[in-house]
C-alpha cells in the first residue's frame, strides 16, 4: 500500500488520481534506498513501474526552491523518452510546486537554451544536447545533487559513454547516483565500477512472466561450432520450432551465427543487433512477427522492448553472464498464459554462469542428453582458443582487479539471499557419449 510509504499527502493524491493502488516491487524496494542517499543500481525493464520508483523518493525529498539551476538531473537515451518522462513527472507532481524541463537533440538549441535560462528543479535530458547546452554556460550543473541515468544499457549500446562521462566531469562529485538498466552488460558494469560508490543493487525479474509457464531445458555442448550443429538439428523440426528467438551475446557472434546457418536456414532467418540500420531492424522484426521468417537471431540489448508475440522457443545460444539477462531472454516466451519453451546451450566454461541463473530462479534447469545424431565439431573460435590460455592464470587476473572489486562481487552475489539459499545438487558428470567422442577427436 502506498499508505505504508512515508510520502506526502500531495504525492499520495497524485498517485490516487492515476488509479494506482499499491507500489510495484521495484517501487517498494527502491524507496528507502533512494531516500537513504546511497548510490543505487536498479535492474528493471519498462513496465515494472521503474519511473515512479525513482521519482517518488526524489519528489518526496525535493524541497521548494526558486533557484535557477536544476537539482535533479535525469538522463535518458532518446528524445521520445525525454518527452514521455516530463509528462509522467508532471502528473506525479501535479499537487507540488515543481518545475520540470526536458531538453533533447534534433531541435532548435536556442529555444531550449531560453527555456533552461528560465530555471527548473528537475531537468530531463539526452546526454549530447545536455552537454552542448552546459558548455555554453547557460546551464549550471553544479547544483545537481541527484543524478538518474535511465535505460543506461541502451545509452551505452548507442555509443553514449563518452557523452555520459563528459557530463560526470562537470557535475559535483558529492551527489547521489541512481541508475536503471533493463539488462546488465560488461559496459554497464564498467560504468558502475568507474563512477559509483558501492551501490545497492535491486533486481526485478520481468513482470508478468510466471516461470511456471516456461518449460526450460539445457544442453551441454563443448563449443560454438558444436552448438551450431545442435541448433540446426533442433530447428529442423519446423512444426515444433515454429517461431524461434535465438539469443546470443554480442553483435559479432550474432553475425557469425547467422553466417553459419545461412546456407540451410538463411531464407527463413532474420537478425537484429545495434549495428544494423533502423530500417533493417524494423524489416527483420516485421518478417519475424508476420511469420515470413521463423527464426530471429538477436542480442540482449537490442531485443528489449520488442513486441514479439507467440514465440514458440527462446534458444539461448550462450549463457548470459548476468543471470538477470536470462530472465529477460526467456520472458519473451510463455506470455499471456501461453506455454513457452526455453533452451539453454552451455559449455563447461559457461557452467558457473548457468549455476548463477539456477540460483537466481531457485530451480535447476533439467539437462537433456546431447542428441547422438548431432555431430561434434572440434573447430574453435579464436576467443575459445584464448580462453584456454586464460584458464591457466585466472588468479592473476582476479588479483589485478583489486580488493574493491571482490568486495563488490561478494556483495552482488549476496543480493538474492532473502530466502533460504538454493543449493545446487552436485553437478553430474556430463553423461553424453558425444563428449567422449569430442575428446577423443581432439586428442588425435
Note the residues at the interface with ligand AMP (CB under 6 A). 20, 23-24, 27, 46-52
Q: Which residues contact 256 (CB under 8 A, 6 or more apart)?
A: 224, 381
Q: How far is the CB of 207 from ligand AMP (least distance, A)?
A: 9
Taking the complex as a whole, the smallest distance from the CB of residue 151 to ligand AMP amounts, in Å, to 10
C-beta of 15 vs 120, nearer to ligand AMP: 15
Give the phi and the psi of residue 85 in degrees, each rounded to 5.
Answer: -70, -40
Beta bridge partners of 271: 297
CB-nearer residue toward ligand AMP: 52 or 141? 52
Identify which of residues 208 and 291 has a Cβ nearer to ligand AMP in the complex.
208
Q: Which of 177, 144, 340 is closest to 243 using CA atoms? A: 340
- 324/350 with CB nearer ligand AMP: 324
Let me know: does 272 contact 127? Beta carbons within 8 Å.
no
Closer of 55 and 374 to ligand AMP (Cβ): 55
Q: Using the minimum distance from each CB to ligand AMP, give the nearer residue, 31 or 195.
A: 31
Quote the least distance from Cβ 2 to ligand AMP, whole Å.
Answer: 8
Least Cβ distance, residue 367 to ligand AMP (angstroms): 35
In this structure, the strands spanning 340-346 and 214-220 are: parallel
How far, in Å, CA of 186 to CA of 164, rounded? 16
Compute the least distance from the CB of residue 215 to ligand AMP, in Å. Answer: 28
Nearest to residue 66, comparing CAs of 120, 116, 125, 103?
Answer: 120
Whole-angstrom CA distances from 1 to 4, 312, 408 are 6, 37, 32
| Nearest one of 138, 156, 140 to 195, comparing CA atoms | 156
To ligand AMP, the closest distance from the beta carbon of 249 in angstroms equals 25
CB of 434 to ligand AMP, least distance (A): 44
Cell of 289: 512477427
- Pick 202 or 342: Cβ nearer ligand AMP: 202
331 vs 430, which CB is nearer to ligand AMP? 331
- Residue among 180, 176, 166 nearest 196 (CA): 176
Q: Which is nearer to ligand AMP, 46 or 412 (CB)?
A: 46
Supply 61's cell numbers.
525529498
Beta carbon of residue 438, minimum distance to ligand AMP (angstroms, whole number): 45
**For the residues of 250-262, what is the DSSP string, one character each?**
SHHHHHHHHHHHH
The nearer residue to ligand AMP, 47 or 266, going by C-beta atoms, is 47
CB of 384 to ligand AMP, least distance (A): 38
**Do 264 and 232 meet the contact criterion of CB atoms below 8 Å apart?**
yes
Strand locations in 94-195, DSSP E? Answer: 100-103, 122-125, 146-149, 176-181
**179 with 314: CB under 8 angstroms?**
no
Q: Are 415 and 359 in contact (CB under 8 A)?
A: no
Grid coordinates belonging to 258: 547467422
Burial of 312 (C-beta count, 10 Å sphere; 0-12/13-18/19+): middle
Q: Least CB distance from residue 112 to ligand AMP, whole Å?
A: 24
> Rounded to 10 degrees, what is the CA torsion of 231, 233, 235, 239?
-160
Cell numbers describing residue 316? 539461448
Amino acid at each position: 500500500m502506498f499508505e505504508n510509504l512515508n510520502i506526502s499527502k500531495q504525492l499520495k493524491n497524485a498517485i490516487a488520481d492515476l488509479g494506482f493502488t499499491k507500489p510495484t516491487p521495484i517501487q517498494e524496494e527502491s524507496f528507502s534506498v533512494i531516500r537513504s542517499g546511497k548510490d543505487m543500481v536498479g535492474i528493471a525493464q519498462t513496465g515494472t513501474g521503474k519511473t515512479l520508483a525513482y521519482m517518488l523518493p526524489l519528489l518526496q525529498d525535493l524541497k521548494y526552491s526558486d533557484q535557477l539551476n536544476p537539482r535533479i538531473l535525469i538522463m535518458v537515451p532518446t528524445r521520445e523518452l525525454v518527452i514521455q518522462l516530463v509528462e509522467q513527472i508532471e502528473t506525479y507532481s501535479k499537487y507540488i510546486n515543481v518545475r520540470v524541463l526536458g531538453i533533447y537533440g534534433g531541435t532548435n538549441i536556442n529555444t531550449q537554451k531560453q527555456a533552461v535560462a528560465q530555471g527548473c528543479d528537475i531537468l530531463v535530458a539526452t546526454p549530447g544536447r545536455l552537454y552542448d547546452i552546459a558548455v555554453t554556460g547557460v546551464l549550471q550543473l553544479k547544483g545537481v545533487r541527484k543524478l538518474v541515468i535511465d535505460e543506461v544499457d541502451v545509452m551505452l549500446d548507442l555509443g553514449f559513454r563518452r557523452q555520459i562521462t563528459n557530463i560526470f566531469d562537470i557535475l559535483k562529485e558529492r551527489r547521489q547516483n541512481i541508475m536503471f538498466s533493463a539488462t546488465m552488460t560488461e559496459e554497464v558494469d564498467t560504468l558502475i565500477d568507474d563512477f559509483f560508490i558501492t551501490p545497492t543493487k535491486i533486481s526485478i525479474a520481468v513482470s508478468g512472466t510466471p516461470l511456471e509457464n516456461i518449460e526450460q531445458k539445457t544442453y551441454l555442448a563443448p563449443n560454438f561450432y558444436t552448438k551450431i550443429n545442435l541448433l540446426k538439428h533442433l530447428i529442423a523440426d519446423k512444426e515444433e520450432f515454429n517461431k524461434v528467438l535465438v539469443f546470443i551475446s554480442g553483435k559479432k557472434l550474432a553475425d557469425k551465427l547467422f553466417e553459419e546457418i545461412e546456407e540451410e536456414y538463411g531464407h527463413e532467418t532474420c537478425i537484429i543487433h545495434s549495428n544494423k540500420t533502423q530500417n533493417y531492424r524494423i524489416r527483420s522484426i516485421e518478417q519475424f512477427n508476420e511469420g515470413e521468417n521463423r527464426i530471429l537471431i538477436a542480442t540482449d540489448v537490442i531485443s528489449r522492448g520488442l513486441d514479439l508475440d507467440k514465440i514458440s522457443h527462446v534458444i539461448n545460444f550462450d549463457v548470459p553472464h548476468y543471470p538477470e539477462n536470462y530472465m529477460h531472454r526467456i520472458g519473451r516466451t510463455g506470455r499471456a498464459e501461453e506455454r513457452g519453451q526455453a533452451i539453454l546451450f552451455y559449455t563447461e566454461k559457461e557452467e558457473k554462469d548457468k549455476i548463477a541463473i539456477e540460483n537466481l530462479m531457485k530451480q535447476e534447469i533439467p539437462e537433456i542428453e546431447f542428441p547422438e545424431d548431432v555431430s561434434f565439431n572440434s573447430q574453435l573460435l579464436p576467443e575459445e582458443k584464448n580462453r584456454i590460455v586464460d584458464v591457466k592464470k585466472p588468479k592473476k587476473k582476479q588479483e589485478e582487479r583489486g580488493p574493491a572489486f571482490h568486495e563488490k562481487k561478494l556483495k552482488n552475489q549476496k543480493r538474492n539471499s532473502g530466502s533460504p539459499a538454493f543449493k545446487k545438487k552436485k553437478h553430474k558428470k556430463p553423461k553424453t557419449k558425444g563428449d567422449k567422442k569430442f575428446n577423443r577427436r581432439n586428442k588425435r
